[in-house]
Amino acid sequence: MASALSADLRERVVAAIKAGTARREAARRFEVIPASAVRWREAFVQGNRTQAKPMGGDRRSHAIEA
């Protein structure tokens, strides 16, 4: 099972990108895949968010009950 990456790591990658580092270079520096760096930067730009979205949970029962 894959583990979630720390919020601190996400913040450091986004901060490096904001400081002018290319997304792929920031990914290499912090040893994450480039797709993650791109997604984290986009999430920050679109919603000023560096935290991961909640995972799992029940998405259907409330719709079925309604």
Q: What is the mean pLDDT of residues 6-13?
A: 89
Q: What is the mean pLDDT of residues 54-64?
A: 70
Instruction: State the pTM of this model.
Output: 0.67
**Banded pLDDT at 65 (limits 50, 70, 90):** low
Query: CA geometry: angle at 58 spanning 8 and 2, to 5°?
Result: 40
* The pair of three-digit structure tokens given for residue 38, joined into one six-digit string: 């791109």
B/e letters for 47-63, b = 16+ CB within 10 Å, e = fewer, are: eeebeeeeeeeeeeeee
